[in-house]
Amino acid sequence: MASDIPLNWFLYFAAASFSIGLVGVLVRRNAIAVLMAIEIMLNAANVNLVAFWRYRNAPPGAGPLPGVILALFVITVAAAEVAVGIGMILLCYRRWRAADVDRYDSMSG
Amino acid sequence: MDPNLSNVDFRDFWQLAPATVLSVWGLVVLLADLALAGRMSAPARRRAIGWLTLAGVALALLAAAGLIQVQQLAKAETQGTPGWLSPSLAEYFSRAGGAIFLGTLSADLQTGVLNVLFIIMLGLVVWQSMAWSFTEDWGEYFALVTWATVGMMLLAASEELVTLFLTLETMTICLYLTTAFEKTRRRSAEGGLKYFVYGSVSSALFLFGLSLLYGLTGTTQFESIREVLASTGPAARGLSGNVTGATALLLMLVGFGFKIAAVPFHQWAPDAYEGAPAPVTAWIATGSKLASFVALMKVFLHALQPWSHPSNELLGPGWLGVIAIVSAVTMTYGNFAALVQRNFKRMLAYSSIANAGYMLVGVAAASVSTRGAEAAGSVLFYLVVYAFANIGAFAVAAWLVRDKKTDDIDDLNGLGMQSPLLAICILVLMLSLIGIPPFAGFFGKLYMFMEAINQQHAKAWPTLMGLVALGLMNSVVSAFYYVRVLKAMFLREPGGSRRLGLAGGSIEIPIVIGTLVAIFFGIYPGRLMSVMQGAAVSMLTTTTSTSGGFASMISAPSGTGYAPLPPAMASAPASPKSTRLDPEQAKKYADRMKKAEAQAKALASPGAQPKNAPPGEAKDALAKKAEAQQEDQ
Amino acid sequence: MSDFFVRVSHFSFVQNVWMIPCLPLLGALIAALGARRLRSSSHVPVVAGIVLAFLVSCGALFSTNPTEAPRVAGWLSISNLEVPIEFRVDGLTTMMLSMVTFVSSLVAIFAVGYMAGDPGYPRFFALIGLFVFSMTGLVLSNNYLLTYVFWEGVGVCSYLLIGYWHTRPAAATAALKAFLVNRIGDFGFALAIFWLWAVVPGHDLSYGNILNGSTLAALPEAAKLGIPLLLFWAATAKSAQIPLYVWLPDAMEGPTPVSALIHAATMVTAGVYLIARSMPLIALAPGVQVLIAVTGCATALLSASIALTQNDLKRVMAYSTVSQLGYMFMGLGAGVSDVAQLAVVAAMFHLFTHAFFKALLFLASGSVMHAMGDVIDMRRFGGLRRRLPITHLTFAVGGLALAGIFPFAGFFSKDEILLALKSASHSAAGQGWGWVYLLIYWVALVTVLMTAFYTARAYFMTFWGPEKLPSPDDPEAPRTEPGSGHGDHEPHGASQDETHGHDHVGEESPLVMTLPLVILAVCALLAGIVFGPTPRFEVLARSIFGLTHPFEHHLQKTFGWELLGHGEHGFDLATAGISTVGGLLGIGLACWFYATESSIPGWLATRFRSLYEASFNKFYVDEVYDWVVVKATWALARICEFLDIYLVDQLVIGIAKLPRKLAKDLLAGYQNGLIQFYAAVSALGVAVLLFILLLF
């Protein structure tokens, strides 16, 4: 089934969603949206990892942890990041009464 | 299912003792804080929990030092293994010392030495945190700092990309949180958020690069990545035209560049440094940087080494050119930007950026030099010296914030009159950071730049020479802003409404220890240097759990780590000998490793030296030494 | 307990020589750190450290092993420069060690009495300990770089101790002068080291690597001439030879024990030691050896003739030291072809005996000074032999030794040098230098006469004649010394009056001061006979002490000296006779002139006015230096100042402002506090780097 779809398709998809995520990080003002964009980037990488795991043969001496395992770990890491991120955003929101990342610029130079 | 998975040797857990102790201790600290929360005031809890954490640090130090000791004892066959080890463990330790957990982590001299260093530095940071009440949630704070350290220790030990990513995240997420811990200051929250957003983006970039690298090689293990990259034909090797490879490499560089604060991935640093409480800043600037540099060197100098400089061109198409450019820009930018800073911590942030630039010179040198391990060792030496000096410097920042509520350089005015001894210590720290001769910072720079000059690669040599020249010029520039601190301390009258109070132990001790390190390793750099070079050897070579110890690995010319040079590289004029070792060099390294191991052991346990050896035996040893010396002449 | 004895019997002095420098250092550290608590007992740790170091030195003396070089620790290892802390325990080193620690112990004990009550008491002893550390390290080290480090170390200690009374302008100036002049020499040493590093195999600067036959033979021709020359340059400054001797007389501004220890017995001989240590290297350049001998001879003659007319007791001794160091260099210079070893041993033997009698003379002078309330001008006191009996006797012994009268130590060592010069004149005849050595030989004999004269003059002026104690209404009391640039000794008294007090003027010094004098006097009396390298008295020495010229035997165990020619000892009655007659003649003249009130000196001074004035004003060397060096430097400095202010400064200020301006205008803009901007910058950075990577 998956072999019907060429590997490149997955890669194009991953690259595209990665770019979408990156652009989101760069242009969205709302901190929560930025957080979501970061999630998209992480998931793009996950798509890559799983696709490569499925399509590529591991060379001799490859470690015990293939890409798919990393993808699983990344999901948990992303969850942790979201938790931490939401906490931070709340902290800032309490002080600035705003969740816009471009408001937080008291330090510069 | 991968059949290997059943082969985990559960005795490997012993090798993780220091990290385990710290992880568990983090929980203990949390629970203790929970129990005390209702009964004690925040400052009282600060002290109580702080001391509890220190106890855990001491325990972990004991574990780390003991681990080195056991490894060495078990390996020295003549002395026999200590009786209290079970036979199974004795057997295990006598052959292990390489990779553990199926090769995902390493447990060798490098990790042993770094673990000890991390724990000592953690102790100083915890100690420094007890200086004043910047938060109320002491349990969470100390637990997070401790867990960040666990991340660092494992990051420096990782041998494989999945572990690398996970430990990197463990470390960073803990540091994001602690950055935002100073509840009374708005800047702390802002710094934390910026650190977090920037860090998350860069880790996403890193992960994407990592996924591409996985796609290119089909493996996550450093060693097999290296093999795959090296075995690809010479035409396809290198990055010229290899868009995927180049992208993967650069995206990974973003991840590391962010952690070590290299331009253009540095911009979070000044804000996060200024916002974070001083002890956290110290920990970001030293421990995190040290661990990330080790990981960077493992990935770039080991796994991606075949890409470092495959052709004979001046800059490319390997990553050497990229690292050279990043290094040059980083040190120049850091130093120049530091010139105009008024805030002490912000100045240190830029100085930390500049220092990352210097260290990248060493990394660049290690990638092409025939003395790769020496060059990498000199980077480690510099990192250690830099780390201790910076912990001392951030203790000064903590002092300022505690007593003056601000931490500008001008707040130091008149310190020379007020507490001359501490002022002199700070003077030494600053001079060491500038790189003035009798202090360790000088030798750090000297070793690193000497290694950069002292290699024969015909084409890379001008690049490295240029970097060294730029580095020296930058040292001069850096003198200006460090001297501003001295000027404030010694030439200005104390001003402002608030006066600096007595420093107190939690400020004094990090400063004094930083000073002592700067002085001791300045007068006597040889020993630390040889330990670091030994660590670098084990850092840049692979170890597998199946073979007997790394010393034997090194002397085995056909071992996986020492594939013969590919023909294209071997036949090239002024062939760039990679960090791969030919048998002779391997032997040399093996000898050095043994020496360094012995010294590391001595460092780890000063009392363990065979002082009480029977005089006859000691005399024999002396006679042998004298003989050897006579032969030398 | 038995275990303890086993350990003691296995105690290797050679492996434990590191204790010799470290013990005084430890003492110094304790004295410095515990200054507040120890106060007037600050001397205890230092004296104890030095005495213990002396004991260890004695042990090392008997376990000398020229081939062994115990490595204490690796120190520097940068790329291909490896400098371990490594000691060499051979004949030359152990001799120097024992001498240095012995004299230091006595001087330190003397200083306990002399410096009592001084406000800087702990500082003084800490510095003395530091000095002994550096000096023993200097003679112990087994490579040129480490030697250089300690060489600088003794220089720093000397600077600090000369300027010990730093509130006095004269002392501060003298310290600065000593330091600067020594820096000129250090520069030569540093150049020699650089050169050596460049030419020796393996860039290994250790003596073992450099001073062996194969290395020396392989040196380039230019290095064979240049390196000895540079080493000699270094030695002229440290050991006060023409043209760099000018700092030593001024160094007498320091406390007298310092003058005795550093500026007579030990540090100033470092140059002699360096040349002797490098003798196999020096011997490669006979031309340089002639230069060494000529310089030594000229220095000896010049400073002896200056000493003839000086009125300051310590200054007489200072010029005498310069003169005697000249003798040592004559000996070193005479080490050509087959007499090489003989000559070097002679020079070292003179160094050895000189340390005793010169330290003795200085300490005795110090004792006089102590008793006279810090007055040192010989015209202001006289006839002290009854008031200061012990000082008087010990001074007499020292004086006789210095004058070279049998059987005092100086007689033997001086004759050795004269003999070496005479032999050299035969040996070097083949190279065409024979006449030079012969000339030097005769000049040296004349200098013997002058030495005896000025020594006896000082002795008689101080201890004979009508008794006279210093009083403020003396004609010489205010600063009346015409033309002497640094003759202002009054601040001397002024600052020390409070510390020493005048209540004991005219009394003999306490036991703690006289005891070292007596011990040194015994050494000055016996060192020649007991250790004499001369076979002349072999029978005598063997019958009394069961030893035959042990000094020479001991020194033959020096690393690298087996490369030196080893000629047969001669015995020259003529030399001994002439020098003894010369010495007695000098003493007789001085006795006639000064023992009683006499008009002859005054008559002579007016009769040979120009000569007298020239000698009295030290041949105007200081003035010439002032004009040629100091004034010229000042003029240059003025020009530089002008250029600096109007050209360089403006440029520098401009350049210095540029980075900050740059940083402020250019860089600060990028650090705008916006996190998304930061992320964009790094994304852009990746793009640029990718571009670079793919383009190249």
pLDDT in tens, B69-119: 887 777 765 455 566 677 777 777 776 557 788 888 888 888 999 999 999
Q: Is the pLDDT of residue B625 over 70?
A: no
Residue B200 touches chain A, beta carbons under 8 Å: yes
For range C563-592, the mean pLDDT:
79
- Distant-in-sequence, close-in-space partners of B392: CB < 8 Å, separation ≥ 6: B425, B426, B429, B510, B511, B512, B513, B514, B515
Task: List Cα–Cα distances, C531 to B545, C86, C99, C418, in angstroms.
Answer: 69, 29, 13, 18
The residue from C579, C612, C645 where one domain ends is: C612
Q: What mean pLDDT do residues C662-690 have?
A: 82
CA distance A59 to chain C (A): 27
Domain count, chain C: 2
Question: In this structure, are C393 and C445 located in the same domain?
Answer: yes
C660 vs chain A: nearest CA distance in angstroms? Answer: 12
Q: What angle do CA C253, C255, C261 make, to 5 degrees?
A: 105
pLDDT digit string, tens, across residues B554-573: 333 333 333 333 333 333 33
Taking an 8 Å cut-off on Cβ atoms, the answer to whether C673 and A34 are in contact is no
**Cβ separation of C74 and B526 shorter than 8 Å?**
yes
Higher pLDDT: C618 or B582? It is: C618
Burial class (CB in 10 A: 0-12, 13-18, 19+), B533: buried
Highest mean pLDDT among B150-159, C13-22, C195-204, C558-567: B150-159
Structure tokens at C614: 């020239």
Q: Which of C673, C680, C683 sits opposite A107 (nearest CB)?
A: C673
HSE, side-chain direction, 13 A CA sphere, residue C413: 34
Comparing alpha-carbon positions, the chain C residue that sits nearest to B203 is: C679
Measured between alpha carbons, how far is residue C552 from residues B292, C88, C576 in Å? Answer: 64, 19, 19
Is C70 in CB contact (< 8 Å) with chain B?
yes
B208 contacts A48? CB cut-off 8 A:
yes
Residues A107, B190: C-beta atoms closer than 8 Å: yes
pLDDT number for residue C119: 83
Residue holding tokens 């194009």? A12
Final residue of a structural domain among C558, C587, C612: C612
| DSSP E strands, C164-284 | none
Among A102, A103, A106, A107, most C C-beta atoms within 10 A, so best to mutate, is A102
Place C482 in a pLDDT band, splitting at 50, 70 and 90: very low
What pLDDT band is residue B361 in, cutting at 50, 70 and 90? very high
**Lowest mean per-residue pLDDT among B327-336, C46-55, C79-88, C336-345:** C79-88
Is residue C450 assigned to a domain?
A: yes
Residue B86 CA to residue C502 CA, distance in Å, equals 80
Q: Mind giving me the DSSP string for B275-290?
A: HS-HHHHHHIIIIIHH
* Angstrom distance (rounded) from CA B160 to CA B219: 9
Q: CB contact, 8 Å: B267 with chain C?
A: yes
B406: left (phi over 0), alpha (psi -120 to 50) or beta: beta
Among the listed ranges C157-161, C202-206, C520-524, which one has the minimum average pLDDT value? C202-206
Residues 74-133, chain C: which have Cβ within 8 Å of B? 74-80
Q: Which residue has the higher pLDDT, A17 or C201?
A: A17
User: Containing domain of residue B157, as a range?
Assistant: 12-535
Q: Do C696 and B240 touch (CB under 8 A)?
A: yes
- pLDDT value at residue B418: 83
Mean pLDDT within C518-546: 70
| Residues in chain C closer than 8 A to B194 (CB atoms) | 675, 678
Residue B569 is predicted with a pLDDT of: 35
**pLDDT tens, position by position, A61-84:** 777 788 899 999 999 999 999 999
CB proximity under 8 Å: A 49-88 to B: 49, 51-53, 56-67, 69-70, 73-74, 77, 80-81, 84-85, 87-88
Domain boundary among C545, C580, C612: C612
> Do C387 and C343 fall within a single domain?
yes
Distance from CA of B483 to the nearest CA of A (A): 21
Cα distance between residue B524 and residue B540, in whole Å: 26
Q: Are residues C671 and C607 in the same domain?
A: no
Contact across the interface for A91 and B193, Cβ inside 8 Å: yes
Question: If you average pLDDT over residues B186-202, what whole number do you get?
Answer: 92
Question: How far is it, in rounded angstroms, from Cα B633 to Cα B629?
Answer: 7
Out of C668, C673, C680, the one facing A106 most closely (by C-beta) is: C673
Which positions ≥6 away from C582 have C-beta within 8 Å? Answer: C445, C446, C448, C449, C452
Interface touch B218/A62, C-beta < 8 Å:
yes
**How far is C61 from B597, CA to CA, in rounded Å?**
37
Q: What pLDDT does B618 receive?
A: 42
C626 vs B208, higher pLDDT: B208
**Residues of chain C positioned with their CB less than 8 A from the CB of B317:** 693-694, 696
Partner residue opposite C676 with nearest CB, options A101, A107, A109: A101
CB of C71 within 8 Å of a chain B CB? The answer is yes
pLDDT over 90 (residue C496): no
Residue C479, pLDDT score: 44
Q: Which residues of C touch B319 (CB under 8 A)?
A: 693
> C552 and C629: one domain?
no
Report CB contact under 8 Å: A31, B187.
no
Q: Residue B609 — pLDDT band, cuts 50, 70, 90?
A: very low
Percent of chain C with pLDDT strictly greater than 70? 87
Is position B209 within any domain? yes
At a CB cut-off of 8 Å and minimum separation 6, what does C182 contact?
C155, C158, C159, C237, C238, C247
Task: Report the domain count for chain B.
Answer: 1
ipTM: 0.95
**Residue B487 neighbours by CB distance under 10 Å:** 14
Q: Which residues of chain A have pLDDT under 70?
A: 1-3, 109
Has residue C373 got a pLDDT over 90? no
pLDDT in tens, B281-314: 999 999 999 999 999 999 999 888 888 765 555 5
pLDDT (average), residues C254-275:
89
How confident is the prediction for chain C on average, in pLDDT?
81
pLDDT at residue C547, as a whole number: 53
Domain boundaries, chain A: 2-100
Q: Is residue B598 part of a domain?
A: no
Share of chain B above pLDDT 70, in %: 78
Provide the H-helix boundaries in C34-143: 35-38, 43-62, 91-114, 121-140
pLDDT value at C514 more than 90: no
> Residue B585 pLDDT > 80, yes or no?
no
Assess contact for B198 and C679: CB atoms under 8 A. Answer: yes
Residue C667 has pLDDT above 80, yes or no: no
Interface residue A31 vs chain C (CB under 8 A)? no
DSSP class of residue C337 equals G
Residues 6+ apart with CB under 8 A from A40: A17, A18, A20, A21, A24
At residue B587 the predicted structure's pLDDT band, cuts being 50, 70 and 90, is low
Tell me if chain C has a CB within 8 Å of the CB of B291.
Answer: no
Least-confidence region, from B217-231, C178-192, C491-505 = C491-505
HSE-up (13 A, CA, CB side) for residue C624: 9
Find chains touching chain B: ≥3 CB pairs under 8 Å. A, C
Contact C436, C444 (CB under 8 A): no
Of A22, A101, A106, the CB nearest to C675: A101
Sequence-distant (6+) residues with CB within 8 A of A99 are A30, A31, A32, A89, A92, A93
User: How many C-beta atoms surround the C-beta of residue B310 within 10 A?
Assistant: 26
Q: Is residue B203 part of a domain?
A: yes
Average pLDDT, chain B: 81
pLDDT at B231: 80
Please tell me which residue, C398 or B610, carries the higher pLDDT value: C398
Taking 90 as the threshold, does the pLDDT of residue B546 lie above it? no
Residue C533 domain flag = yes
What does the pLDDT read at residue C103?
Answer: 92
Inter-chain touch C660–B339, beta carbons under 8 Å: yes
Per the structure, the complete domain to which residue C375 belongs is given by 285-468+512-612
What is the average pLDDT across B541-555? 41
CATH architecture of A2-100: Orthogonal Bundle (1.10)
Contacts of C266 (CB under 8 A, 6+ apart): C99, C100, C103, C104, C135, C355
What's the CA gap between B317 and B459, in Å, rounded? 12
If asked whether residues C691 and C583 sit together in one domain, one would say no
| pLDDT given at position C627 | 81
Q: How confident is the model at residue C478, as a pLDDT?
A: 45
Instruction: Say whether pLDDT at C549 is over 80.
Output: no
Q: Is the pLDDT of residue B59 over 70?
A: yes
The answer to whether the Cβ–Cβ distance between B316 and C693 falls below 8 Å is: yes
DSSP strand pairing (B105-106 vs B99-100): antiparallel
Residues 6+ apart with CB under 8 A from B163: A65, B104, B105, B154
Chain centroid to Cα B83, Å, comes to 35
Mean pLDDT in residue range C91-99: 88
| Residues C373 and C413 grouped into a single domain | yes
pLDDT reported for residue B312:
53
Q: DSSP letters along B519-570, please?
A: HHHHH--HHHHHHHHHHHHHHHS---SSSSHHHHHHH-TTSGGGPPPPHHHH
The whole-number pLDDT of residue C525 equals 86
pLDDT above 90 (res B428): yes
**Contact of C319 with C254, CB cutoff 8 Å:** no
Residue B201 contacts A, CB cutoff 8 Å: yes
Residue of A nearest to C680 (CA): A26
User: Does the pLDDT at position B316 exceed 70?
Assistant: no
Q: Rounded to 5 degrees, what angle do the CA atoms B199, B100, A71 make?
A: 40
Strands C71-78 and B105-106: what pairing? unpaired
| Same domain assignment for residues C655 and C529 | no
Cα–Cα distances in angstroms (integers) from residue C100 to residues C107, C129, C326, C345, in the given order: 10, 12, 20, 17
Residue B546 maps to a domain: no
B508, exposed or middle or buried, with CB in 10 Å at 0-12, 13-18, 19+?
buried
Q: Which of C259-273, C289-303, C332-346 has the lowest mean pLDDT?
A: C332-346
Cα B502 to the chain's mean position, in Å?
32
pLDDT reading at C5 higher than 60: no
- Work out the pLDDT band at C464, boundaries 50, 70, 90: confident
- Selecting from A22, A34, A108 the residue whose C-beta is nearest the C-beta of C673 gives A108
Cβ proximity of B342 and C666 under 8 Å: no
Note the pTM of the prediction, 2 decimals.
0.69
- Decide if pLDDT at B402 tops 70: yes
Note whether C606 and C629 are same-domain residues: no
Q: Residue B557 class from Cβ within 10 Å (0-12 exposed, 13-18 middle, 19+ buried)?
A: middle
In a domain, B547, yes or no: no
Give the tens place of pLDDT for each residue, C51-79: 999 998 888 887 777 676 666 666 666 65
